[in-house]
Amino acid sequence: MLGGIGPLATVHFLERVVRLTDADRDQDHVDLVVFQHATVPDRTAFLLGRSGENPGEVLAQDARRLADLGVSAVVLPCNTADAFRDRLVAAVPVPVVSIVERTVTEAVTGRGSRPAAVGVLATEGTVAADVYGAELAARDVAQVLPSDADQRTVTEIIYGQVKRGVPSDGTALRAVVDRLREAGADRVVLGCTELSVAAREHGLLADTLVVDSVETLAADTVRRAGRRLRPA
Residues annotated as catalytic (active site), given as ranges: 78, 192
97 three-class SS: strand
**Long-range contacts from 215-220, C-beta under 8 angstroms, 24+ separation:** 215/16, 215/20, 216/99, 216/102, 216/103, 216/105, 216/106, 217/13, 217/75, 217/77, 217/97, 217/99, 217/102, 217/103, 218/13, 218/16, 218/17, 218/20, 219/20, 220/75, 220/97, 220/102
Q: Tell me the helix, strand and coil percentages in the chain, rounded to 5.
A: 55, 10, 35
Within a 13 Å sphere around the CA of 45, how many CA atoms are in the beta-carbon half? 10
Enter the DSSP assignment of 21.
B
Report whether 38 contacts 5 (CB < 8 A).
Answer: yes
